[in-house]
Structure formats: structure tokens, C-alpha cells
Chain A
Amino acid sequence: MSGRALSDVPAEQRDGSTEPSPRRPKQPMAQPARGRAPGEPRGVAYLYIAPAFVVFAGFMAWPLMRALWLSLYEWDGLSVGTFVGLDNYREVFTQPELREPFLHSLVLLIFFSVLPILLGLALAGLMTRAKVRGAGFFRTVIFIPQVITMVVVAISWRQIYAPNGQLNDALRAVGLGSWAHAWLGDSTYALAAVGLVGTWVGTGLCMVLFMAGLSKVPRELYEAAALDGAGGVRQFFAVGLPALRGELAVAITLTVVAALRTFDLVYVMTTGGPGTATRVPSYEVWRWSLDAGRVGDGVTIAIVLTVIIMTLTIGVNQIAERDPT
């Protein structure tokens, strides 16, 4: 609206009233010169975005291009590489050794995504419904794992899972000593043990997201549902959950990406072992590219990972934005 008021000025002047009204002495200065849209200096915008794009181009776009290029080569990082076309990609989908980490990611999804979302929904639902005192306190405490340095988290959980660690101590204390294991040293349990740490980290974030979503639901809706005879659980599924569409999409995106990108935990807790039991894509990117001298394979895994993440992020958000009919 104010924009239109501004564009009125030159029209007035063309009409002959060249003297600006004394009550609006500054308007001529704001005159859009050379026919630009008012309030939209255009060329200068490039100066504002230039520094950001220089850094972005040099340290994000260019390396990404280089990654695409490297993925077409077999290269040990030192000598001259051999162009192999799309062979590396074919290998990722066919060689069990390269494919296995992606299958491990699927297992991690249960722990990083499904469990935190379910736990987060339950906790947020409970807190919203019961109007607990100290909700802010609980929210802060349960969120804390999300801000702790992953390497620290890994060190702590390594200690818990150790053969003489707290988990086995607890099992022995309740008479389940026969269940005690070297959790991270046993290929049956190691992946799940790493995954459970993901549940610990992600639950608070999911809960906080869902609490924010639920707080937008008017209380009257719950009360109406209650009048219709719905119990607490029914109320949550009928009223609360449908309102959480957007938050669910965000929670799915964030937790799935976190699962696919698990690196720090694996590096510190298991280094991919025992055997190959906890090898995951991010860890394999690092291992092939810098430890095993097969840069082409490592970078190809990274590209495949990037494509999966982008497809998922865009896909989930597209579905969430579509109107429920």
C-alpha cells in the first residue's frame, strides 16, 4: 500500500505540481529514479549476496561437482585415477560389501526414527493433556541429549555397554546375569546398541516438535471430543495427531537424515565392527576414501547418500504439504 503511495509522486510531478508539498519535504528523495519498481533497488542485491555465494561456491557447490566427477573414477588418492564411468554406482548396488551399510541404515531407522517419534508423540501427548506443572523443566531435561557433543555421548554409552559396564551390572543386579553381553563386541547386538543411542538422542527433539504442534490445537476441540465420549487416547488420535501433520514431516525428515548420517557414534563406539556389523554409509565414505585408498567407491557412496537424503526430504515435505482430503 505504501508502495503505491510512492509511485504516485512522479505522476503528480508530471501533472505540473513540481513543487513538493511542504508537508512532505522528503518525498522527492525517495522518488524511484530511472523507472525502477519502488523500494526495490535491484543491482545492489548482487553485492549483498556475493560474499555468501563466493564461500558457498568454493566450499559447497564446487566440491559437490568434484564429488560427482570423482565418483566416475577409480582413484587411490595419490596416483593418476582411471576413468570407469558408472561402474562405481553399479558396484554400490550390486556388491554386498558396498550395499551392506545401506541395509544397516534401514535397521538404524527403527531406532533413530520410529522409536523417537513414537516416544516423542507419547510424551508430548501426555504433557499436553495433563497440563503438568514444571512442563518447562521436563522439556529442557528430556531435550538435553540433543545438544551434547556426539563424541561425548559415544564415550558415555561405550562405558554403559562395556562388559563390566552399567547395563550388565543392572542385569546382574536383577538376576538376569545370563543376559549380560559385551554388547558392542557381539555382532548380533552391536548395531542395535548403537541404534539405541540414536533413540536416546532423538526422543527429546521429537517431543519438543510435537509439543509445539499440539500447543496450537485449541483446547475446546479436545473438550468437544470428550463430550462425544472419547477417552484420552481416542482424543489424541482424533484431535491431536491430525494437527501434527507438518511436525511429523519435520520429525521424519530430521530423524531419517540423522540415521543415514550416523558417523561419530560408529567411529567412536565400534569403528564399524565387530566384523562389518556396524558399518554404515557415512562411516564407509570415510573408510573407503581416506583409510582404504578407494576414493571412487567412498565418494560414490556419498553421492548415493546425498541423492537419498534429497529425495526423502523433498518427498516427505511434498506429501505433508498436500491437503488431506
Chain B
Amino acid sequence: MTSTFEKSMTYLVLAVASVMALYPLGIILATALQPDQIGASGGLHFENFSAAWERGSFSTYLTNSVIVSVSVVVLSTVLSCLAGYAFGTMRFRGSSLLFYLLLLGLMVPSEAVVIPLYYDLRSLHLTDSYVALIFPQVAQSLAFGTFWMRAYFRSSSRQIVEAARLDGAGHGRILWSVLLPMGRPAVFTMVLLVFMWTWNEFLLPLVMISDESLRTAPLGLSNFQGQYTSGTSLLAAAAVLVALPVLVVFLLTQRQFIRGMVEGSVKG
């Protein structure tokens, strides 16, 4: 249906778009592999990564990011599954009102809550703590997660639920042994998205954390770049380390990741 000319033009456009998408990342990677000192020998300098890891304290920052991301993912997944199950399969007074409340939370930008949270947590001496990094993000993620899981539980087969009930399974058993195992793809997609959002979050740690040992990776990177002029290979190596975890997860799960982004946003 399409001519050869048209087809090759399409490939050309796609190739240009791909190069444009990768170019800024290529620059960072190339800079990261350059010698850090002027006059050093050529070749690829992988030692920049270990220098950023040790001298730049990125081992601490990345560890913090792992702790925060894993905690947020686990907590918001558990809470979202529980709440989504109730909203998706049970009828109770006030359910739609409560659900709309959550939907509003989905639209509230973190800018609006982060400032009052800072002053409230400060008076409780809870800024500069994992609590301040984790729970605000759990609250944001579970608004989406509940919404996401509710959609799954609503679409799950009522026949299977009824059959399990006839077999004497209680509501807990039905969730744990029937619906969750069947809903693994939905849960997995939610885990991917929440992980990405949490890992990349910048404003919340910027506001909450002044203690260097509690900095997350993006916050540590932004401080690092304040100290060094841009374009140094150490900064670039640190940037690669910060971006890598989400990029790897994305590349390993791209099909599901992209489908999740599309469905998550279409439903959201």
C-alpha cells in the first residue's frame, strides 16, 4: 500500500528521532568514560565510576534510594491491594465518596503538600528521616495504586470469586489465594511504575533532607553538580549510576512497562 520511497522516508524519520532521543544520554556516557584529569591517557576510563561510587559518596546515596524505593513499593503495593480489593469487590456505605477522595488525591501535585508536611514534620523532629522520605510517597502512590488495583479487581471474574466462596473461602483467602495470583501482571505493572516514580523523585528529598547521609541518589547528584562545574567526567559517571537502575528495569520489562504507562494513564 505504501511506496518504497515513503517507507524509506519513514525509516529515516524514525532513525533521526531515535538518535535525538539517545544523543543526550550518549553524551553523558561518553563524558563519564573520559579521563578526569587533563593530560591523562586516552582510552575508556571506567575508574570514574568507582571514584563517583566512593569519593562522591554515591554508595550512600544509592543505598538510600534503594531503601526508600523498596519501602515505598512494598508499602504502597500492600495498601493498594487491600484497598483496591474492598473498592473493587465489596459494597459498603460511603464507598464512592471515599473513592472520589482518593481520585482527588491522584490530582494533587506534591508541591501542594510538601511544604506543610515539612513544617509539621519539623515540629515532630521527623525531617531528616526515612519516615519523611517514605510515607508522603506511599500516600501519593497508593492513590494511583488503589485506583489501578480496583480496576483489576472489578474486571476479575465474578464466577471464580463465587466458586471460591462456595468452596468456603473467606474474603481474605479469596484475595490472597485466588485474585492476587491471577492478578500478578497488574501488580507487577504497578510495582514498576511506583518504583520509577520513587527512584526519580527529587522535590521531596530536597525539601525534607539536609543530612548528607540521608540524601537519595537524585538529590546527591544535584548537590554534586553544584560543587563541580558541569561536563566533568566524575559528575557524568555519577549521573550514569543514578539513571541506570530505572533504565535497566525499563529495558528488561519494556513491553509491560510501556503498556502499564499507557493503560495507567488512560485509566488515570
Q: Interface on A for B, CB 8 Å cutoff?
A: 2-3, 6, 26-27, 29-30, 37, 39-46, 48-49, 51-53, 55-56, 58-64, 66-67, 70, 77, 119, 122-123, 126-127, 129-132, 136, 138-153, 155-160, 162, 165-166, 200, 203-205, 208-209, 212, 223, 226, 232, 246-247, 250, 254, 257, 260-261, 263-264, 267-268, 281-282, 285-286, 289-290, 295, 298-299, 302-303, 305-306, 309-310, 313-314
Within 8 Å by CB of A138, from B18, B107, B240, lies B18
Chain B residues near A46 (CB-CB < 8 A):
86, 92
| Cβ distance A22 to chain B, nearest Cβ, rounded Å | 15
The smallest beta-carbon distance between B8 and chain A, in angstroms, is 9
Counting contact residues on chain B (CB < 8 A from A), the size range is 35 or more
- The contact string, 1 if C-beta is below 8 Å from chain A, for chain B 224-254, is 0100001100011001101100110011001
Chain A neighbourhood of B257, CB < 8 A: 147
* Alpha-carbon distance A143/B257, docked complex (angstroms): 11
Also in contact, A41 and B171, with CB within 8 A (given A63-B113, A132-B11, A155-B230)? yes
Q: Is the CB of B115 within 8 A of A67?
A: yes
Shortest 8 CB-CB contacts between residues of A and residues of B: A66-B116, A48-B86, A59-B139, A52-B83, A63-B113, A45-B92, A45-B86, A45-B90
Q: Which residues of B have CB within 8 Å of A55?
A: 75, 79, 135, 138-139, 142
Contact across chains for A204 and B242 when beta carbons are under 8 A apart: no
| Known contacts A52-B142, A126-B13, A250-B265, A309 near B101 by CB under 8 Å | no
A140 to B83, CA, bound (A): 33
B40 contacts the other chain (CB 8 A) = no
Most buried by A among B115, B242, B254: B115
Question: Are the CB atoms of A30 and B166 closer together than 8 Å?
Answer: yes
A60 near B139: Cβ-Cβ < 8 Å? yes
Asked if residues A232 and B24 are in contact (CB atoms below 8 Å), the reply is no
Q: Is the CB of B21 within 8 A of A141?
A: yes
Residues of A within 8 A of B1 (CB): 223, 226
Q: Which residues of A contact B221 (CB under 8 A)?
A: 149, 151-152, 155
Binds A, one of B41-49, B51-59, B155-163, B176-184: B155-163
The chain B residue with its CB closest to the CB of A67 is B116
* A49-B98, A56-B101 given; 19 more Cβ-contact pairs under 8 Å: A43-B92, A45-B95, A46-B92, A51-B82, A52-B83, A52-B146, A63-B120, A64-B116, A126-B13, A126-B14, A147-B196, A149-B218, A149-B246, A152-B243, A159-B27, A165-B231, A212-B262, A285-B111, A289-B115
Q: List 28 A-B contacts (CB under 8 A).
A: A2-B159, A2-B163, A26-B168, A27-B166, A37-B91, A45-B90, A45-B92, A48-B82, A52-B79, A56-B102, A64-B112, A67-B112, A67-B113, A132-B10, A138-B14, A144-B250, A152-B240, A156-B25, A160-B27, A268-B225, A281-B111, A285-B115, A286-B207, A289-B115, A295-B115, A299-B116, A302-B109, A306-B111
Q: Is the CB of A268 within 8 A of B98?
A: no
Expressed in whole angstroms, the Cα–Cα distance for A174 and B235 within the complex equals 29
With CB as the reference atom, state the residue of chain B lying closest to A54.
B79
Query: Quick check: is B258 within 8 A (CB to CB) of the other chain?
Result: yes
Measured between beta carbons, the chain B residues less than 8 angstroms from A261 are 109, 111
Q: Which residues of A lie under 8 Å from residue B90 when comparing CB positions? A: 40-42, 44-45, 48
Distance in Å: Cβ of A251 to nearest Cβ of chain B:
8
Q: Is B165 an interface residue (CB 8 A)?
A: yes
Question: Do A282 and B104 form a contact, CB below 8 Å, given A60-B139, A63-B116, A150-B218?
Answer: no
